[in-house]
Copies of this chain bind each other. A is one copy, B any other.
C-alpha cells in the first residue's frame, strides 16, 4: 500500500553520519563515537545478586507496576539526591526508560508545534532530535568555557518568546564543560524571570575529575521543587549500566504528574525488573565506592587520551580539557570537514562523531567529539595512531585538491 506518514517524519531523515557510524559496529574498527561506559567496570556480580534478591521475594515481583515507577527505588533515589542538596519526595519523581524518555515526555506535555526551545551551542544531538520530532523550533544560544552567554540568552528569550531551555551545565555533552557558579545562578534567574521552563540534563554529574570543586545543580539552587523552574533528569546508565535502562525526572508535582499521564499512554511503565534490581543495588552494594572507582578510571583514560593526542603535535588542533564526563570536544584546523575526515578514519579503523551533529543550526564543520571512557589503554594507543594516519591522508588529499 501507499503509506502516508505524518508530516513531521520529513524532519526525521536518517543522516549520512548515522549511516557511516553503522559501519563501525564490527571489531575491526575502534569506536570513539559512542557514549559507552567502560565494560570492564560494570558491576556484574552485584547486578546478578540484585536480580536474585528481587526474585527471592516471590512471584509478585513479575507483575505489572506503577507508571510512576517502583516506589522503593524512588525512595532510595530521594535519599541519593538529598546528598546532592536536592530535596524531593517520591511524588516529585518519575522513573523512565533512560533519561532520554524523560526529556521526550516533558517535551510532549509542554511543547506545542512551533514553540521555541533554547539549547547550548553545541549540545547533545539526541536532545535536538527529540525536540524537533515533537515539532519544536530549536534555537542555539552562544556560550563560552564558563557556560551560556547570559546576554544572548536574554536576547533570544525575548526575540523568540522561548518557552523552554535545555542545558547540561555539568560536564556537557559534547564538551565536558562545567558551568561556573555565577553563570548557573544568572541563568536560573533569567529563566525564572521570563517563565522559561528549564530541563537540566545531568547524566554525567557523578563523573567528576578532581575532588576539589563542587558544582551545585540548577535544581538545588532553585528554592523548592514546588513551583520550580527546573526539571532535573539523570540516569543509572553511566553509574551502574545502560542495559538496566533506567532514568528519572524530578520537578514540580504538577509537571511530574502531567509527564506521568503522558507516560501512561506512551508505554504504561518501564521495566520493573530493572527498577527492582536497582533498588537492591542501593540496599546491598557499595554504589558510592563503585562510582568513585569509575570516576577515577575515567579520569585516567581522559589523561591518557589527551597525552596521546599531545604527542601527535597536530597543527591547529585544539581541545577543551574536560572537567568530567566521557567526551573531549576537538577543534580541527579551519576548513577541515570532520564528516570527510570520518571517512578516512573509518578506512584506518577508528571512528568519532563529527561535531556538526551537535548544532541545532549553523554547524561548525571543523569539530568532532571523541569518547575516552570506553576504550582501554592499548586500544586507545591504536585509536590515536589510526586517527593520526587518517588526518595525514586527509591533509595530503586536501592539499593536492587545493593545488
Residues of A within 8 A of B (CB): 1-7, 9, 12, 14, 34, 36-37, 39-40, 42, 44, 47-48, 51-52, 55, 58-65, 96-98, 100-101, 104, 108-112, 126, 129-130, 133, 163, 192, 195, 197, 227-229, 237, 241-245, 252, 254-255, 258, 261-262, 264-274, 276-277
Contact at A133–B243, with CB atoms within 8 Å? Answer: no
Question: Contact: B262 with A12, CB < 8 Å?
Answer: yes
A55 and B47 within 8 A (CB): yes
Chain B, Cβ-Cβ closest to A39:
B59
Total copies of this chain within the assembly: 2
A252 closest partner in B (C-beta): B3
Inter-chain contact A262/B133, CB cutoff 8 Å: yes
**Residue A271 contacts which of B12, B268, B273 (CB distance < 8 angstroms)?**
B273
Say yes or no: B63 contacts A47, CB within 8 Å. Answer: no
Contact A269 B241 (CB under 8 A): no
Interface contact A6-B110, CB-CB below 8 Å = yes
* B192 and A1 contact, CB distance less than 8 A: yes
Q: Which residue of B lies closest to A45 (CB)?
A: B55
Q: 16 A-B contacts, Cβ less than 8 Å apart?
A: A1-B228, A3-B254, A5-B110, A12-B258, A36-B63, A39-B63, A44-B55, A51-B51, A51-B52, A62-B242, A96-B267, A98-B267, A100-B267, A108-B133, A126-B264, A271-B271
Interface of A is mostly: helix
Which chain B residue lies CB-closest to A273?
B243
**B111 touching A6 by the CB < 8 A rule?**
yes
- CB-CB under 8 A from A36, the residues of chain B are 63-64
The one of B52, B258, B266 in contact with A48, judged by C-beta atoms closer than 8 angstroms, is B52
Task: With both chains docked as a complex, state the minimum distance between the C-beta of A17 and any C-beta of chain B, in angstroms.
Answer: 13
Docked Cα-Cα span, A1 to B47, in Å, equals: 41
How far apart sit A3 and B192, CA to CA, in the bound complex (Å)? 11
Q: How far is the CA of A359 from the CA of B75 in the complex (A)?
A: 37
Contact between chains at B109 and A4 (CB < 8 Å): no
Q: Cβ of A126: which chain B residues have Cβ within 8 Å of it?
A: 264-265, 268
What distance in Å separates the Cβ of A54 from its nearest Cβ neighbour in chain B? 9
Within 8 Å CB of A252, what residues of B? 3
How far is it, in angstroms, between the C-alpha of A117 and the C-alpha of B34 when the chains are bound?
Answer: 39
Our pick among B110, B243, B272 for the contact of A272 (Cβ within 8 Å) is: B243
Interchain CA distance A7-B55 in the complex, whole Å: 43
By a CB distance below 8 angstroms, the chain B residues around A2 are: 195
Say yes or no: A266 contacts B268, CB within 8 Å.
no
A266 to B101 CA separation, bound complex (whole angstroms): 5
- A277 CA to B243 CA, complexed, in Å: 12
When chains A and B are docked, how far (Å) is the Cα of A1 from the Cα of B97?
27
**Residue with the highest number of chain B CB atoms closer than 10 Å, among A39, A58, A130, A242:** A242
